Amino acid sequence: MIGIKMKTTAMMISLLVISGCSSNNSKPDEEMDHSTINKDMEEIDQNTTENGHRSHDEMVSLNDSTGENELEIPAMLERDNEKGIVYTVRAQKGKTEIFDGTETKTYGYNGAFLGPVLRLEKGDMVKIRTINELEENTTFHWHGLEVSADADGGPHNTLKPGEEKVIEFKVAQEASTLWFHPHPEGITAEQVYNGLAGLIYIEDDNSKNLGLPNDYGKNDIPLIFQDRNFDDKKQLNYNAAMNDDGTIGDTLLINGTLNPKLTVNKEKVRLRLLNGSNARNYTFKLNTGDSFVQISTDGGFLNEPVTLKEITLTPSERAEIVVDFSQLNTANDLALINEDESILLPFEVSDQSGEINKIPGEMNNFSITEEEKDLPVTKKVELFGMKDQVTINGKKFDPERIDFTQQQGVTEVWEIYNKPDMMGGMIHPFHIHGTQFKILSRDGEEPPENERGWKDSISIQPGERVKIAIQFKHKGVYMFHCHILEHEDNGMMGQLKVE
Ligand SMILES: [Cu+2]
């Protein structure tokens, strides 16, 4: 197991649990209050006055990372025993020392904050025992995983406090970086905000043979970006921070680390980027203006590496990029920065050269067929609104209503339109559960090169019309929704029944 700096008792306990220790030693934190989202109008008004309609145009910028803490690398989740591919994932409460000398009340999977990486191989038959040790309902949603609706962990798969459920599935999709997080109706945003999120790595023969950087924690680095607001007691006070248009914060945590820095060797380093924020979009770039290559989208490798100077990820989107530290001038400070130049992750480059100096030119055989291009649009999705007035096709989520049906294994074309509002509108990141889809066009044009790969979430600009080709391998009821978590909780979500 990768050594990580353990800051909290609960995390140490989790290490025992994920190492195969049989009993559940985690201590629930009795004091933590877990109030649900307060939709009290007065509070919303106050929020609006204080923060304005901030996610539209006045984005609160992030504080620069001082780089004083080495980035935490999440543990790999270990199997329960040698015999089968069985894992246990517990949703828990705990305390984490995010700020030196202060305990912050947090949520986590198999620990106090965030979760371990679940590493699966294509072809595996996997069993996961999920346990809700919170004092409120939750679900375990596997974002991007092609599983039956019963295992998907949408709002229909709610576990009450103390309940557990075993899900089973075969890993039938290609190598990719996915993630897991809760999805209970109306309280997803708060639970993610408090720390419930973890990564899933799928590997396959291709990913193992490509020769890409894959030394976990050394040249293959997970990076979960989450912005947070801390109150004057250094607590994550969701109700105080909550904004109906998407809760954003001035403090960036990467893998839960405040003021992170990453130490790397002089080699090609693979960064697996996840925008795990409730609402904030990031445009990642290097402070030197140097380019990097993108090698994967949400659901798999691109056919060829795409050279970029910056990449934007909206909430829930992932991208793997490779930065060549052997080619960068390390005389000056190096950092990953945001669009507004705020410093997200300073790099410290050691004198050691690494093993990986080349990446392959061909990585995948993703394609869009002529047949798929010629299919008529059979489903239309219109995203509209702001704050708590968000809708899909003019409606708010109703668990009793099925919005669409689609036949299992049949490809359809959906057209998703982001209808502008009086203030112009805002980007909505649109996510569909249980499958990976292909972007056919954006406003009639071919998608950019770095979106010619499998996607499960897509950023849609105000006024933009996007066509996707989509099919489902499994039956059941799946969600589609905006991945600004407050929009989702406010009902910007619909249901698809695969028959
Ligand atoms: Cu939205």
- Determine phi and psi for 290, rounding to 5 degrees: -65, 160
Considering only CA atoms, which of 484, 4, 491, 10 is closest in space to residue 247?
484
**How far does the centroid of ligand 1 lie from the alpha carbon of residue 384, in Å?**
8
Going from the Cα of 385 to the center of ligand 1, the distance in angstroms, rounded, reads 8
CA of 461 to the centre of ligand 1 (A): 11
pLDDT digit of tens for each residue in the chain (499 aa)? Answer: 333 333 333 433 333 333 333 333 333 343 444 343 333 333 333 333 333 344 444 578 999 999 999 999 999 999 998 677 899 999 999 999 999 999 999 999 999 999 999 999 999 999 999 999 999 999 999 999 999 999 999 999 999 999 999 999 999 999 999 999 999 999 999 999 999 999 999 999 999 999 999 999 999 999 999 999 999 999 999 999 999 999 999 999 999 999 999 999 999 999 999 999 999 999 999 999 999 999 999 999 999 999 999 999 999 999 999 999 999 887 789 999 999 999 999 999 998 888 777 899 999 999 999 999 999 999 999 999 999 999 999 999 999 999 999 999 999 999 999 999 888 999 999 999 999 999 999 999 999 999 999 999 999 999 999 999 999 999 999 999 999 999 999 999 999 999 9
CA of 429 relative to ligand 1 center, distance in Å: 6
Contact 465, 383 (CB under 8 A): no
What's the count of helices (H) and strands (E) in the chain, helices before strands?
8, 31
CB within 8 Å of 182: residues ≥ 6 apart: 91, 138, 139, 140, 141, 153, 188, 191, 192, 196
Whole-number Å distance, alpha carbon 363 to ligand 1 midpoint, is 33
> What is the Å distance from ligand 1's center to 458 Cα?
11
**This prediction's pTM:** 0.89
What are the chain's domains?
9-46+72-205 (2.60.40.420), 220-353 (2.60.40.420), 370-498 (2.60.40.420)
Full strand arrangement of the beta sheet holding 125-132? 104-109, 86-96, 125-132, 164-170
Place of tokens 């576990």: 159
CA–centroid distance, 153 to ligand 1, in Å, is 21
